[in-house]
Structure 1
Amino acid sequence: MFKRFVTSLAIPLTLGACATAPYPEIRAVQTTNATPYTRGIVSAADPRAAAAGVEMLRKGGSATDAAIAIMLSLTVVEPQSSGLGGGGFYVHTDPNGNLDTIDGREKAPAAATPNRFLKPDGEPMDFRTAVESGLSIGVPGSLRVAEEAMRKHGKLPWATVLEPAIRLARDGFQITPRLYSTLLESKSTAGRTPEGLALFYQADGTPKPIGTLVRNPALAETLQQIALHGADWLYTGQNAEDLARTIANDTPSDGKMTAADIESYKVADRPAVCGTYRAYRVCGMAPPSSGATTVLAILGELEPFDLAKLGPKSPTFWHLFAEAQRLAYADRERFLADPDFVPVPVKELTDHAYLLKRGALISPTSTMTDVEPGLPLPPPAGKGPAEHGTSHFVVVDKWGDAVSYTSTIESSFGSGDMFRGFYLNNELTDFSFVPQESCADRKGGGSEARMGDIADGKLEMAVGHDCRPVANRVEGGKRPRSSMSPTLVFSPDGKLLMAVGAAGGATIPVQTTRAIIGVIDFHLPVDQALALPMLFSPGGQVAIEPNTWLAGYVPELEALGHKDVKVRQLPLKANAALLTAQGWTGAGDPRSEGVAILQ
């Protein structure tokens, strides 16, 4: 079986190496392993977190043990992005392609109402006002994900998996250039509490310099107690009461958090969402993640086009990519929400025939004038920003089990509130700020995106008005929609080929799709697939990553009919592992501090 698999992979990967133009030199791991599962691999956004995962693999741990060690370590070394105060989506496969997913998305308190983010005059409140208050904080899910994942697929003792994170918090970690930059840009959030100021800022209010050793004894103690007592230490008893009080005291109105909200939190086992792309099986997370449906939509809409013949340097390819995004995001904004509250037509949205029909709307020589959702209209889309403080990591162990895991606290440093040494999320701002559309204008029905400042996580959708409540409105106990896209790709013979995902708010599904196309269509090694430039086009505007050769394609895209093409910064950070004829390879995004490490 393995011999056939290697042969099927070797041909396209070798051809790709000859057919593509040179790409920037970036960090990646290569191996001459002849057998794919004799050594595991880890790819994460921070080298210290990646090392924690490899440490678990070398101790005989599973991909799940390594993934949880990474998540916990990121709480310490990448506090701006993910950790105990947030949540995430975990996607697991065994060597036979049997999938298991865990939804650890945060929940709104039971008393939350659809008007949570409205001012007294009925208008949506300012994004930063919402973020930097208890209104934005959902019940964290990360630790419950860790507990459930290890119950199902862990091999090592619970306390062992926490050891690297405890060491990092107790003994200290150095401030990296990326963390320093985020501290500089996000002081109002990172330094919103005296605890955050003391950890990361100097007496004059400037961030501690790059290379400064930071110790977080409060977080070390928290992790030590969790190692001794399990997840219940945080979710029950006095700590649940204290956590709820911390959030409630910072919540000016509408549905304060209670200990009962925290004690009742449970993760959800969701069925994986899978589809095919050129005979490859692509699988990801079910709603409330919009990741799998959006990734599959873009791929399915592009399948009729010969992307390999066009190649990554073709303006026509990037035009097609932009148009497919517009179609996919129209459906995303209209249909995706928490399936426990709103019927989500996942089967219809990922149906192969439906996606081919959507793709038939795309012309290689012109842009679509109007983009509408492709199914009969449910509740309309709303208005709200997308998550930005996020981290993705992948692990494959020596037995062939793999995990693709995206963890987030939403914006950089979440809400800015801290509890026992870690930042609390602002995930509830992923809900629509507008609970229902005005009855004043019933003409429209479709959706068209207008990009605000994506770097600040703002992506609003202008829609037709029809009085009905929006699908992604706030409701008590509801999970907000997410862009997180932890993804696994299986080769035509059913074996795992690739584990991939990204961070960066609404750009996440597009980054993930771009990497998949880079590998399958352009036959690129995984490092070069992640290094491909970025084009983001969820609606009428097109954003192109600066300082790339793609930034020179503005005239060509305008000639094809795109009317609002801008070169602008985008929040990009992806990680992936790929099986080749020589064994597992991996890479971190060249735009980040991410790395891949072999066991």
Structure 2
Amino acid sequence: MILLEKIRAAGFGALALATGAALPAAAQEAAIYSGMDRVHPVWAESGMVSAQERVAAEVGRDILAAGGNAVDAGVAVAFALAVTLPRAGNLGGGGFMLVHDAETGETHAIDYREMAPAGATRDMFLDAAGEADSELSRYSGAASGVPGTVAGMRMALDEYGSMSWADVIAPAIRLAEEGITVTPDLADSLEASQERLTKYPSAAAIFYKDGGEFYRPGDNFVQADLAATLKTIAEQGPDGFYKGPVAEAIAKSVTDAGGNMTVEDLANYKAINREPVKGTYRGYEIVSMPPPSSGGVHLVQILNTLEGYPIGALGENSAETIHLMAEAMKLAYADRSEYLGDPDFVDVPVSQLMSKDYAADMRAKISASFATPSEQIKPADLAPYESDQTTHFSIIDKDGNAVSNTYTINFSYGSGLVADGTGVLMNNEMDDFSAKPGVPNAYGLIGGDANAVEAGKRPLSSMTPTIVNKDGEVWLVTGSPGGARIITTVLQVIMNMIDHDMNVAEASTAARIHHQWLPDELRIEEGISLDTQRALQAKGHTISLQEVMGSTQSVMKDPETGFLLGASDPRRAGAATVGY
């Protein structure tokens, strides 16, 4: 039976195919197909990449088609996104990567989150009156933590990759040097970010034409300084970024903009290989990031709580299901405010938060009939923001190795500061610390002493790169940007597939909800019916209809056919899932 017939027999419908001219004849790509009754995912036989930007996704696919594994492709995609998706892809930020090794069956967690410089102090973002100053924590040189992306990618490639460092960076160098075609999405984002990006001449000179004219769709956008930096990194390894002229330029630019980052801070940066957190949900194994990401802990915590309810029978996005989800979310986000932080500095009660017994205690606090006001919810008595412009990619290769990676520079285009002569946009991740306990950050998240600013500390994150296993094999690789809403976005993709029997495309497109304890409002997208909204209001929920949440990039392996099925969230333009 030929491949297309197998796909049809498996119930996935007829999908349009397009052969990539630069690839072997077997390399193929497909777009999400909307049939009469269902939305169908992209499919492939051998390898698949799902990323927020098409050119970078195709770079990863090319690496897979050339014989590279999932980690080789992941590192190549990360560097390419620094060129093609500058508002979120980065060299000047950091993040988290899960790597599944099919041969050993083990999953590894790489923490390359930014670190506070040695000169950082607890009260550095308070004004003379002792109040949090968001200008300092978001837009000044002090907003930048020591970047981790280059170190994280090198650790991943050295420990789990198969190709050379120079080979996986080469596509990014070519894209920066020769230029990329400006898409409508890139043009719109640059126009929207003009005020911040023109604050610093080093950024304005790169992202706008002479005289400040905007780039338009179809223009060729060259980033010569970034190409030179990428070449230095390719030739010298991470030392080309963390030491020498590039490090000196970063430290000087940050300091000149009011920060205190030194060349020693950059030279001392280390990525960390951590043990992932693991839980179960209705027979599936959930593997996700540990602290300093709060994502994995609270993803498992919420799933544990909801496992005690017949969610599938209650129905997708019914008032009963949404109510239970919101109540479980509130309890988890209250705990986040108290207990989560960098485990190298504070004791995080991970096992207690993720225990099934604790989930039973949480269910005892939930009324099926009424919403508990957030002011009545406090963090449990236990022993001891991310921006929408974060980006995620998911990869599975022909051997079953998998990568789930989420990284960011926080706000769109970070702090807006480009280190002079390097092309490197700097992050503003220091805002993810609690500038003052009890005061919300840019995304409304409350933090306490566990996430206070401290030299060498990594700020708490909501990034939730996740791998779901079924019967010991990788079943789903997923993740999303979305700040405080990352955890709940990933949660709903998983629940949609397990509880509501959706395919990966349907799970990616379904309407989403979010509650983060404070503010006490149930955020919903368009698509939740008015009858459901009224039923939720009758239970005591305050409904807030707002813009869309998240941008999931997901790949799954169908256990019956062995085919790879993927989907890029349609909520943002430019994303692509490609395979061969």
TM-score by length of 2: 0.89
Alignment of 1:483-494 (within 5 A): 483-491=462-470, 493-494=471-472
- Please state if 1:475 is matched with 2:482: no
The answer for the alignment partner of 1:65 in structure 2 is 72
Alpha-carbon contact 1:24-1:531 (below 8 Å) kept? no
Give 3-state SS (helix, strand or coil) of 2:567's partner. Answer: strand
Alignment root-mean-square deviation, CA: 2.4
CA deviation vs aligned residue, 1:483-537 (integer Å, no higher than 9, x gap)? 000000011x111100010001110011100000011111111011011111111
- Please state if 1:191 is matched with 2:198: yes
The answer for the alignment partner of 1:169 in structure 2 is 176
Alpha-carbon contact 2:43-2:566 (below 8 Å) kept? yes
The answer for the alignment partner of 1:101 in structure 2 is 109
Alpha-carbon contact 1:387-1:430 (below 8 Å) kept? no
**How far 1:164 moved relative to its partner?**
1.3
The answer for the alignment partner of 2:479 in structure 1 is 501
Partners of 1:71 and 1:588 in 2: CA distance: 17
**Could you tell me which of 267, 284, 291 is aligned with 2:295?**
291
**Could you tell me which of 514, 519, 522 is aligned with 2:492?**
514
Partners of 1:129 and 1:568 in 2: CA distance: 28
AA matched with 2:451: N
**Could you tell me which of 270, 277, 284 is aligned with 1:273?**
277
Alpha-carbon contact 1:587-1:594 (below 8 Å) kept? no
Relative distance call for 1:363 and 1:204 in structure 2 (3 A) is farther
AA matched with 1:328: A
**Could you tell me which of 501, 519, 526 is aligned with 1:547?**
526
Alignment of 1:300-311 (within 5 A): 300-311=304-315
Alpha-carbon contact 1:505-1:571 (below 8 Å) kept? no
**How far 1:552 moved relative to its partner?**
6.3
Relative distance call for 1:430 and 1:240 in structure 2 (3 A) is same
Figure out how many residues of one structure are paired with residues of the other and give that number: 543
**Could you tell me which of 264, 281, 286 is aligned with 1:260?**
264
Alpha-carbon contact 2:63-2:73 (below 8 Å) kept? yes
Gaps of at least 5 residues in structure 2 are 1-5, 14-33
Identity across aligned pairs (percent)? 35
Alpha-carbon contact 1:275-1:282 (below 8 Å) kept? yes
**Could you tell me which of 16, 38, 43 is aligned with 1:30?**
43
- Please state if 1:150 is matched with 2:131: no
Alpha-carbon contact 2:229-2:246 (below 8 Å) kept? no
The answer for the alignment partner of 1:396 in structure 2 is 396
AA matched with 1:494: G
The answer for the alignment partner of 1:353 in structure 2 is 357
Alpha-carbon contact 2:349-2:382 (below 8 Å) kept? no
CA deviation vs aligned residue, 1:338-378 (integer Å, no higher than 9, x gap)? 01111111111111111122123223321123222223376
Give 3-state SS (helix, strand or coil) of 2:203's partner. Answer: helix
Give 3-state SS (helix, strand or coil) of 1:459's partner. Answer: coil
Give 3-state SS (helix, strand or coil) of 1:573's partner. Answer: coil
Relative distance call for 1:348 and 1:234 in structure 2 (3 A) is same
Gaps of at least 5 residues in structure 1 are 1-5, 15-20, 34-38, 379-384, 438-448, 464-468
Relative distance call for 1:24 and 1:194 in structure 2 (3 A) is farther
Partners of 1:586 and 1:291 in 2: CA distance: 22
**Could you tell me which of 418, 430, 433 is aligned with 1:431?**
433
Alpha-carbon contact 2:40-2:506 (below 8 Å) kept? no
AA matched with 2:381: L
Relative distance call for 1:79 and 1:272 in structure 2 (3 A) is same
The answer for the alignment partner of 2:377 in structure 1 is 371
Partners of 2:123 and 2:557 in 1: CA distance: 48
Give 3-state SS (helix, strand or coil) of 2:495's partner. Answer: helix
Alpha-carbon contact 2:83-2:89 (below 8 Å) kept? no
Give 3-state SS (helix, strand or coil) of 1:395's partner. Answer: strand
AA matched with 1:201: Y
**How far 1:391 moved relative to its partner?**
0.5
AA matched with 1:410: N
The answer for the alignment partner of 2:21 in structure 1 is none
CA deviation vs aligned residue, 1:544-572 (integer Å, no higher than 9, x gap)? 4443245763212101111x211112442
**How far 1:116 moved relative to its partner?**
1.2
Give 3-state SS (helix, strand or coil) of 1:348's partner. Answer: helix
Alpha-carbon contact 2:61-2:579 (below 8 Å) kept? yes
Alpha-carbon contact 2:513-2:525 (below 8 Å) kept? no
AA matched with 1:375: D
Partners of 1:553 and 1:421 in 2: CA distance: 49
AA matched with 1:585: L
The answer for the alignment partner of 1:442 in structure 2 is none
The answer for the alignment partner of 1:597 in structure 2 is 578
The answer for the alignment partner of 1:443 in structure 2 is none
